[in-house]
Structures are given as C-alpha cells and as structure tokens.
Structure 1
Amino acid sequence: MHITNTTSAINADIPALECRGLRKSYGHGRVVLHHLDFTLAAGEYVAIMGDSGVGKSTLLNLIAGLDNVNGGAILIDGVAMSSLDDDAATRLRRQKLGFIFQAFHVLPHLTVQQNVALPLLLNDEPQARALELLAAVGLDGRGNDFPRQLSGGEMQRVAIARALVHRPTLILADEPTGNLDPDTAHEVLALLRQEIKANGASAIMVTHSAAAAASADRILLMTADGLHPLPAQS
C-alpha cells in the first residue's frame, strides 16, 4: 500500500531546501561547517557521505532546528527560518519536516500506533492515518504492540512511518540503517525510497554506507571544504 501525498503540492521552481553560507562552530573555536552552500530540489533524494566528525549529522540537526547556526541562512520551501519567530519556525518544521534517527527514538511507553501518530497529534490532525502508514510499512495489525515487542528492523519501520505520517515535504534521515543487519537494511532502504517517492517528498540521508547511499538519486561527499559530487569509482 502506498500513501500518495495530496496536500503538499510541489512547486518545482522553489527548492525544498537551501543552505546559504551556513556556519557552525563549537566551544574553543572548533569549526564544523564553514560557509556551506547546498540546494535540494523539490522531489529530490540525496545521500551525503563523509568521514566521521566532518559535520554530516550537524547539518541535519541545524536544518531540523535541533541545533542553532552561527551564521548563514536555511530556507525551507523558500521560507527563511531566520525570518520567523520561534513559534512560527517550530510550526513550519513540525508540519514540513520528518526526521528518521539511527537510534529510532521510538518512545517505549507508547504503543506502535501511538508512536506513529505523534506528529498528527502535534499538528492537530486526525490520527487515523497512523494505521494507513503502519500498513504501508508492513506492520498492519501491530499497532497495539509496544516497542519492546519489535525487532530493530521493525522499529526502524515505525520510525519511517512516523516521519512520513503527516505528509512532510522534507525527510531527514541520519544513518537510518546503521543499527541494522544487511538484509534488514536493504529492506528498510527500499521501503524508505518507495515511500519518499510515493509521498512526493524531498529527502536527505546521511550515511557511511555506500550501499545505502546508492538508493538515493545522487550522492554528495562532505569534506572540510563543503559538499561535492562523489568522485567516480575506478
């Protein structure tokens, strides 16, 4: 079962995401991102690879509002986040973003259905769609189970369903297969791409895995100098 996005029409002329001159540093002057520029087209699915500590997860956290930039601008669907007050920025991210974490971040005291329905609850939307998404990710009939009853692959499916349930226009996935065995990782990647495309969303996946990155439309390499097309393998 595929869930088609009918509410967030894509304007192909407006990028899903723009990062302009993005800068981020931490204490003692450690610079992680230095004037980074990046554009994600509407409907595009991009994988970002690179060495540990180069700033891949930091970039996702900045886009998601989990960390603050030191300089530059982030635009989501053409809206500069710096132009919004805190409440408006929170609402925009809550409505337009879906985040898939490596560690799942499934809440253990909630049922599977309640976990998936959280974004709907936060956006004051009907929660029946949670059951549709559970069916879409192959967990039909598991809504009343608790996370402790699930395998790692099943919990990642819950995380994908939760990220997609409110029809976000931008999906951020941070090492979504890092805790999975190769067979489960392959299934999760196929599911993730399938649902991103079925929902008409744009997506960024950070990964160390070349196999995972191959599921994206294009692959970028992050270095201290920014983002670059991955060199062709000889």
Structure 2
Amino acid sequence: MNTIPILELCNISKAYASRKVLSDLSFTLAAGEYVAVMGDSGVGKSTLLNLIAGLDEADSGKIFVNGQILAAGDEVAATELRRKYFGFIFQAFHILPHLTLLQNVSLPLLLNDMPLDRTAAMLAAVGLGDRGHAFPYQLSGGELQRVAIARALVHRPRLILADEPTGNLDPDTAQEILQLIRAEVKANGASAILVTHSHAAAATADKVLTLTGNGLTETRR
C-alpha cells in the first residue's frame, strides 16, 4: 500500500511586498482525500493553489508532490510534475482560442502520450458532447468553464486543484459538475482541493478546511 502523501506542505510562507499572505503553513493531503478550503477574500486561498501548482514560489518552506520536491526555480521539473500529476480548474479558463473543444480537452492526453478515447466522454460528462467541433468564441462563460473542467479531469490526474470551479454556472449545473469532480476523485483514487466561497460546493467534499492567518483548521459540519 502506498503511504506517501499526494501532497505535503512544510512550513510554507508567502508575502507580497509588506503583506504577509501565508505564514509557516503545513498541510498533508493523502491519496483519496477530497477537501474544500474556505476563508475570507484575500486570506490566501488562490495563492495557496498557485504555490502548490508551482505557478508561484514560496518565500520559505518546501512542497512535495507524490514524494517529489517541488524545487524552487526548477521550471522544467515543475512542468513535468504539473503535466503528470495535476488537473487544474482555475478561474482563468485558459482555453486555447484556435483549437476546437475536442482539441482543447485532449491536450493533457497528448502531453502525457495517452490514448485520446476519453476526450469525447469527458465533454459529454460536462454537457457539451454535441459541441466538440465548436470553437471557444462560440461559447458562453459557463460553457468555457465546463470545457476547462473536462480538460482538467480527462487524464485522470492524481491531484485536482479547483479554484471556484462553479463560479459561472447556474445552481443545477454547478451541482452536476461538483458531483462529477467527486466521482472522478473517488473512481481514480485521486485527491482534490476545492477552493470556494460556496457552502453548497464545499458540502460535496469529504471535509471542509478554513484558511485564516493562523493556518488551516477543519470546520465542523
């Protein structure tokens, strides 16, 4: 049995100019865990995800992904970790405008030399199965968000990072998408961190953590 945590943060601190965002934060996420992170605006929730993803660099501390250190300044290694282990659902969708929806969703599979047979199924799972040959400019904001979610999940990542993944969706569609994320986590033995202001979204996770200046604490439900 693999006992290595999928994610381990050791004494992470981050400040922007004179504003301290995260201070001496430690956190471990085991394989199969699905947690929601809540907290006030500006407390550092998105910064936390960016640090985990290697998109930003901590001022001090260490981050391990599946036992491998996310080395500061080593962009090649960080890119390899992101491609292999991560699925990103961020508020900026980053859908490539010159590619069709099918082509956008298939990118993680191509980058990992994996078969493309899950592409159409994932588009269908987010309710866009009949739009595969459409281009991003033909979609609404909510539809683009669903494309981003399909792309994040298509290669069965070990770690899913989701920053307000239902912010552009109506309540019914949001619940369907949240249940899809949960189902993918459980079916694939993955782990996930869901950053959200929505208590309804947080309720789909196994546990809810609140981020404050004192770190992460579990919220009783």
Q: Same fold (TM over 0.5)?
A: yes
Deviation per CA, 1:170-209, whole angstroms, max 9, x where unpaired?
A: 0000011122222222222122212222222100000011
When structure 1 is superposed on structure 2, of 79-88 and 33-42 the one drifting more is 79-88
1:96 maps to 2:82: no
SS of the residue corresponding to residue 82 of structure 1 reads coil
Given the alignment of the two structures, is residue 133 of structure 1 paired with residue 107 of structure 2, yes or no?
A: no
1 CA distance for matches of 2:57 and 2:44?
14
Instruction: Report if aligned partners of 2:156, 2:184 keep a CA contact under 8 Å in 1.
Output: no
SS in 1 for 2:57: coil
SS at 1:205's partner residue? strand
Distance 2:98 2:68 in 1: 36
Aligned residue for 1:47, secondary structure, equals strand
Q: Deviations over 1:27-85 (max 9, x none)?
A: 2x211000001111101100000000000000000011111111101111111112894
CA distance in 2, matches of 1:108, 1:214: 34
Give aligned pairs, total: 221
Aligned to 2:194: 205
Moved more, 117-126 or 11-20: 117-126
- 1:135-175, Cα deviation, whole Å (9 max, x unpaired): 33333232101223334443222111101122210000001
Shift in alpha-carbon separation, 1:185–1:132, aligned structure 2, 3 A: closer
1:43 aligned partner, one-letter code: G
With the length of structure 1 as denominator, give the TM-score of the two structures: 0.87
Match of 2:103 among 114, 139, 143: 114
Q: Mind listing any 5+ residue stretches in structure 2 that lack a counterpart?
A: none
Report the counterpart of residue 210 of structure 2 in structure 1. Answer: 221
Q: Which amino acid aligns with 2:10?
A: R
Residue of structure 2 in register with 1:169 after alignment: 158
Is the 2:119–2:154 contact (alpha carbons within 8 Å) kept by the matching residues of 1?
yes
Residue 24 of structure 1 is aligned with which of 14, 24, 29?
14
Using structure 2 for the length normalisation, give the TM-score: 0.92
Amino acid at match of 1:189: L
Same amino acid, percent of matched pairs: 66
Partner of 1:67: 56
* Structure 1 residues without counterparts, runs of 5 or longer: 1-10
The whole-number CA distance in structure 1 between the counterparts of 2:188 and 2:139 is 25
Match of 1:157 among 146, 166, 169: 146
Aligned partner of 1:50: which letter?
G
- Of 128-137 and 17-26, deviating more is 128-137
